[in-house]
Structure 1
Amino acid sequence: MNDVVFAIIRLLCGLAFFLYGMDVMSGGLKKLAGGKLEQMLKKMTSNSFTGILLGAGITIAIQSSSAMTVMLVGLVNSGIMELGQTISVIFGSNIGTTVTAWITSLSAIGDADNFFIEIIKPSNFSGILAFVGIVMIMMSKKKRRKDIGTIFVGFAVLMFGMELMSDAVKPLSESEQFSRILTLFDNPVLGVVIGTVFTGIIQSSAASIGILQALSMAGKISYSMAIPLVLGLNIGTCATALLSSFGVNKKAKRVAVVHVSIKIIGMLVFMVLLYVPQLFIDMPFMRENINPFGVALCHSVFNILNTLILLPFPKQLEKLANFLVRDRHDGEAEEYTLIDERLLQTPSFAVAECNNQTCRMASLAKKTFLESIGLIFSFKGENFDDVVQKEESLDQYEDKLSTYLVRLSGKDISDRDGREISKLLNTVSDFERIGDHAMNIAFAAQGMHDKNLSFSVKATEEFRVLDAAIRDILELTVKAFKTGDLALARQVEPLEQVIDTLTATMKSRHVERLKSGECSVESGIILSDLLTNYERVSDHCSNIAVALIEIDKNEMDAHEYLHELKKSDAGFEAQYELYKESYKLPQE
């Protein structure tokens, strides 16, 4: 009895190392993968084949089908993806998660005279990986190499845990108590339940598979015992997605339901195909003892065949999810979350989504400002209301994005993601301020309309020139931000200088017109306010462009950059002269 107790203790120790190694390796892979996978995820789900490939690829990259599904729940909850797009990705994720089982099955490789066989034994190569990883972490200055080192160390710890579990169960092969416990698994239904519950508790199908592979090395588990456990642990891995679906909208809940449905339907099909025929025909292989490679094979066959069986029925799976999670009937539309909290579990994906949302904010800021300046000479109440609504949306963007980015900056992120967060934090407030200035202009235009005020012909002609310049700088800034084009970003500052000159000249001319009586004092005050808002918007465009350039250089000294730019950059002077020529005020 004592042998069994201590064996279980050693098994749990091995499980602890396994889970920790998996977590470390997964964290390193997530940082290394970066946000590009998230971009691909949304673009390559147009057909089932690419969706499966992408789902498998991302799951292999981040080593977690649970994290993949949680991510999908978050993306649907944010309104970024639709339920139908996620189904093929879930299929791919189910296949991708089987790779870990094949890696851990290497622990079953026995002693051999062949050098190449010996070197792929975990007890040999994991130590080498651990040493290389430690050297990379300690010696390398680049974060990317440190991340690779972390992956190596995590993998080595994972395999060490697998070795511990394998060694722990070896004494159990002679234990009568252990043999009696295993007789419980002769009941396939009980095997499915145990596999489901255990995996649901530890929330890691890879760990469950690892334990089953370790137990199989005791030579006491047959295929008929192992297969129900494999089916059950595939269902149990859905627990994470189900837990993550609390507090999300109906569409996001359906992602978790689809995931569970795929596993349960597959389990029922396989149980019928494997165990019903045994009532009529003998299936000798079911009585044979399974080994770690056999466990990996069962895991892979289940997920691959399950995908092939259900792949032609995505619409039916979607209808099933819609039936199980029904829409509201109170007529109230569901709200989408700007950026879902669940994406914080995969920081690189969260960073990419923050960038996407900031790009939307940038476009909205541009539209809001352009709509507001249109009110100056053609005021319409519905357009004014639209500006107000858009400005409120910009406020919400700024509030939620800034809060989210601050939280995200506290996560373990790569250098690249850190720079991206800095860029976003430095630019979000500028886009919001552009909305504020749009609101100021809209109120000024409303005041002119209500009081039936207008500008002189000369002032109107000058505004047309300034309008063209401000439209150009907004277009340059937003395009540079969305594309990351630094060449475009460098064109912003020369134009900002031209706009400064334009507004200063217009104010000076306005004073002269006031003296000559060409303009009224009341309209003059409004004109001065408008010019101030135009000039401030160009300043914010400059801030955004400088942030893009400086953060790309891993620096953030805007004052020094602008000083050097104006002092010694020949390109700046040439661009400035070009803009100066393009945006000339009419002669007085």
Structure 2
Amino acid sequence: MIFELVGGLGLFLLGMKNMSDGMQAVAGSSLRRLIGAVTNHRLLATTVGVVVTCIVQSSSITTVMVVGFVNSGVMELAQGVGVIMGANIGTTITGWILVLKVGKYGMPLMGFSAFAYLFSRGDRYRYWAMFLMGIGMVFFGLEIMKDACSIIKELPDFEAWFARFNADTYIGVLKCAAVGCILTTLVQSSSATLGITISLATQGVISYPTAAALILGENLGTTITAFLASLGTTTNARRAAYFHVLFNLIGVFWITLIFQWYIGLIQSIIGVDVAKMVMVDGTETYPNTVAAIAATHSVFNIANTILFIPFVTPIVRFLERVVPSRPFKEKPRLTDLDVRILDTPLLAIEQSRKEILKMGDGCLKMLDWLLELMNAEEPDKSLADRLKQREKVLDSVQDEVAEFVTGLLSANVSHATAEQARRQLRIADEYESISDYIANLDKFDRKLRRDGFRFTPEQRADLQELNRHVAEYVAAVHKGLSTENHNVATSTSASSKRIRDEVKALRRKHLEELSAGSMPPVVSVAFMAALNAYVRVRDHALNIAETIDG
């Protein structure tokens, strides 16, 4: 019995993971757009939470992801709270999937989709096959668990032990909820405990009211994952995790007060007799309990969300008072990257993309500051220091992006995601190189000033014009990256060639000036070095454009 129960549960959980991975790969771009659509509008944030959790098939993944986003400052606490409420509704989809009476088709579905997964050439077909294979595993795993649970009825000691958990009194309801909570806390998966609960209920080992009380406890137990993920995070991330606990704790408290009326309402809503017994292979089964359990789970979370939505603002204020901000800077890192998001590769890759876009913005600012510094009659120390600091920051950001993306690549990700991750590593490196050359350009000017020299007025005018053209080119490439324009190299090729021709013309002009009159060697060397630096900025921007084009 134990071997069958453990094997069935393992297959069930592996199926849930395959469903999650398959859907994430298939719905990747939609998932990224959904997270980007999260605003302070409560209903919209809640809807996003529902849809994302239906896609990733796990409220734990969604809530941990929210803790990561709030921790990194990408999502505000009020937005995170809305998504968490939606995640609680979205997780009930598992129960409704199990309502489909396809248990006996679990094995053939698993087999056919496994062949499709192994022999399909296209990534999209493979991930659809993985999703269907996951469904097959879920149903086959559930059938194995049901067979294991049917043995319990033949063992009087086991049956007597389960009979002690009966939700016919208020204390009994609390006792069952506590068991569900403890079990879910131990395995850190409400889907696992849901599968066990359904297996026990369909075999008649436990009654429907007992199963409903266990489900309430499982809702509370699933909060442990986000709570553990919040340890060592920023204050706002801990507030988001505490909200998840508070949301489920209050929900379980009020629903247990009206429990007997509530389970009566559920039975009238679904319109089936949960006590109806059907003989299958000589064994008594209660198939209608699956729909009742799914409805119990869904209605509880929907009702709790409706109850909480009007009070989101006061609850957020309450959490801000209970969990006060720390008096020091909480983010030790420069980027908004968080390892907690690596569990959802498609969102992780979007997160690192945002950081690379920030690197590009930083390079464009540096080019603007460089122009200001070249135009200044007197050296502007504060602006020069800011430019140097920005270059150091971009070095560190590149290190953090590389560490994050490397961690992402070490996981099991799709070919498309892996390719995108490799492109991101290259683009981050190119932007960091651009910042190095911009910092060098300022060094040439400062060194000349320190030695009592300056570029001639004509050289300064030429360099300013070149700086403007290079800045326009880098901005066009950067825009192509932000809009994911895969023709950016072609559309900006004219600008790239113009910069190359402009530099060649300036070199010829400089050599003619050298032969025509006297120019201090240090000025000549600095001018040629500046031209070379601008060429290198253009080359690295061209590399980015070609990387975007694939």
Fold-level match, TM-score > 0.5?
yes
Which runs of structure 2 are paired with 1:411-430 in the superposition (5 Å)?
A: 411-430=411-430
**Inter-partner Cα distance in structure 1 for 2:91 and 2:505:** 66
Deviates more, 1:376-385 or 1:237-246: 376-385
Which runs of structure 2 are paired with 1:127-142 in the superposition (5 Å)?
A: 127-142=107-122
**Inter-partner Cα distance in structure 2 for 1:331 and 1:97:** 37
**Inter-partner Cα distance in structure 1 for 2:28 and 2:498:** 39
Which runs of structure 2 are paired with 1:95-134 in the superposition (5 Å)?
A: 95-106=89-100, 120-124=101-105, 126-134=106-114
Aligned 8 A contact 1:369 1:438 in 2 = yes
Partner of 2:163: 183
Shift of 1:333: 5.0
Deviations 1:469-519 (A, max 9, x none): 212211111111111213333233333232222223212322322333363
Deviations 1:4-26 (A, max 9, x none): xx3x4422222121112112222
Partner of 1:322: 320
Deviations 1:16-54 (A, max 9, x none): 211121122222222222254134213233312221221
Partner of 2:279: none
Which runs of structure 2 are paired with 1:182-201 in the superposition (5 Å)?
A: 182-186=162-166, 187-201=172-186
Shift of 1:547: 1.2
Aligned 8 A contact 1:35 1:351 in 2 = no
**Inter-partner Cα distance in structure 2 for 1:288 and 1:421:** 50
**Inter-partner Cα distance in structure 1 for 2:536 and 2:482:** 21
Partner of 1:409: 409
For 2:248, which of 246, 259, 263 is the aligned residue? 263
SS of residue paired to 2:479: helix
Which runs of structure 2 are paired with 1:26-425 in the superposition (5 Å)?
A: 26-106=20-100, 120-124=101-105, 126-186=106-166, 187-274=172-259, 289=275, 291-328=289-326, 330-335=327-332, 338-378=336-376, 379-425=379-425
Which runs of structure 2 are paired with 1:517-536 in the superposition (5 Å)?
A: 517=517, 519-536=519-536
Deviations 1:126-174 (A, max 9, x none): 3442243123213211112111111111111111010111122223335
**Inter-partner Cα distance in structure 1 for 2:9 and 2:133:** 16
**Inter-partner Cα distance in structure 2 for 1:321 and 1:96:** 24
Matched residue count = 525
Aligned 8 A contact 1:195 1:229 in 2 = yes
**Inter-partner Cα distance in structure 2 for 1:98 and 1:293:** 11
**Inter-partner Cα distance in structure 2 for 1:158 and 1:132:** 15
Q: Identity, % of aligned pairs?
A: 28
The residue type paired with residue 296 of structure 1 is: A
- Residues 357 and 225 of structure 1: CA distance in aligned 2, closer, same or farther (over 3 Å): same
Partner of 2:280: none
**Inter-partner Cα distance in structure 2 for 1:283 and 1:310:** 21
SS of residue paired to 2:165: helix
- Residues 366 and 46 of structure 1: CA distance in aligned 2, closer, same or farther (over 3 Å): same
Aligned 8 A contact 1:32 1:414 in 2 = no
- Residues 157 and 509 of structure 1: CA distance in aligned 2, closer, same or farther (over 3 Å): same
**Inter-partner Cα distance in structure 1 for 2:274 and 2:429:** 66
SS of residue paired to 1:486: coil
Deviates more, 1:490-499 or 1:393-402: 490-499
Shift of 1:249: 1.2
Deviates more, 1:262-271 or 1:131-140: 131-140
Partner of 1:458: 458
Partner of 1:482: 482
Deviations 1:338-385 (A, max 9, x none): 310011111111111111111111111121133123311224222111
**Inter-partner Cα distance in structure 2 for 1:366 and 1:536:** 15
Deviations 1:107-137 (A, max 9, x none): xxxxxxxxxxxxx42213x344224312321
The residue type paired with residue 184 of structure 2 is: T
**Inter-partner Cα distance in structure 2 for 1:45 and 1:446:** 46
Aligned 8 A contact 1:199 1:208 in 2 = yes
The answer for unaligned runs of 5 or more in structure 2 is 167-171, 276-287
**Inter-partner Cα distance in structure 2 for 1:27 and 1:56:** 17
**Inter-partner Cα distance in structure 1 for 2:90 and 2:407:** 30
The residue type paired with residue 254 of structure 1 is: R
Partner of 2:432: 432
**Inter-partner Cα distance in structure 2 for 1:520 and 1:9:** 87
The residue type paired with residue 121 of structure 1 is: V
TM-score for both structures, normalised by structure 2? 0.90
**Inter-partner Cα distance in structure 1 for 2:164 and 2:508:** 92
Shift of 1:410: 2.1
